Structure 1
Amino acid sequence: MGWSEEQALKSDVNAIEIAYLGRLQMLRSIFGGGEDEPETKKPDRQAISTGAQFDAMFGVA
């Protein structure tokens, strides 16, 4: 995305995801290819992690 390490570490997850999707869109516009459906349509995606999901990801017992 062209960010410095400091910028990336200070950004929240939503900002990183929006920047990533924007970069994908730019690259697809320049080089073509990819999906026909926009990346932003992800109906099965859960927006917020629960405590149980966090524990499972990081192996907390």
Structure 2
Amino acid sequence: MDHSHSHGHDYGHTHAHSHGPASPHPAQAASWSILRMTVVTRLGAALVVSACLWAVVWLAMR
């Protein structure tokens, strides 16, 4: 039995861009940025994330 047939589905999926195909996307305003944080704040955030991940590992191994 031969099941080789092409599926030429066109769902009309288009993207409306407001810039040309060769230009990059325009910048968007970010509510926060890790680049705007101070070094101490970044280190603190990294410690919190690390502690949370270690807690997940610790709970998984129990």
The TM-score with structure 2 as length reference comes to: 0.40
Structure of higher RCO (CA pairs closer than 8 Å, 6+ residues apart): 1
> More helix by proportion, 1 or 2?
1
